[in-house]
Amino acid sequence: MAAPMQSSLGRRRGRRPMSEINVVPYIDVMLVLLVIFMVTAPLLTQGVSVDLPQASAAPVDTRDQEPLIVGILADGSYHLSIEQDREVSLPELLTMVSAVMQRRPDTPVLVKGDRNVPYGRVVEAMAQLQQAGVPRVGLMTEPAGR
């Protein structure tokens, strides 16, 4: 009986635990990732050229004052909140907005454009409003889910 016990103890003494980590698989993975990133990096810098309309606009300053709302309907017609349901032309709109801005220069002006109005038309209206003396033009939106 002493012999089997001694042989099992001898095996335990002869084998020592390995204290080194084999890093070769990690190096292989890193090299594969490096190759993948080198191939995909040039693809990420490509983009689509978009011709965006240009106009300068300042952010809207929130006040306790009632804003002047310029509505642009889907058919391209303009409406002003002080004129209720009447359609106005762009020059007429700019004249009325300019008159309001001369009386109350700190009145916020918001553009409420229909979803189907071309983006360029909304930006054009905003630029015209700024040329008419409106220092701040903002955009109105409806909450998501409506």
- The domain tally of the chain equals 1
pTM over 0.85: no
Instruction: Output the tens digit of pLDDT for each of the chain's 146 residues.
Output: 555 555 555 555 667 777 888 888 899 999 999 999 888 877 665 443 434 344 454 544 555 677 888 888 888 888 888 766 678 888 888 888 888 888 888 888 888 888 788 888 888 888 888 888 888 888 876 665 54
Read off the amino acid at residue 92: E
Question: In this structure, what CATH number is given to the domain that contains residue 116?
Answer: 3.30.420.270
- For residues 83-108, one letter each, b for 16 or more C-beta atoms within 10 angstroms of the residue's C-beta and e for the rest, the string is eeeeebeeeebbebbeebbeeeeebb
Q: Look up the domain containing 99 and give its range.
A: 68-139
Domain assignment present for residue 124? The answer is yes
Residue owning tokens 């054009």: 124
Bin 76: left if φ > 0, else alpha if -120 < ψ < 50, else beta: left
Domain assignment present for residue 56? The answer is no
Domain assignment present for residue 28? The answer is no
Domain assignment present for residue 63? The answer is no
String of DSSP letters for 75-141: TS-EEEGGGTT-EE-HHHHHHHHHHHHHH-TT--EEEEE-TTS-HHHHHHHHHHHHHTT-S-EEE--
Phi then psi for residue 136, to 5 deg, are -135, 125
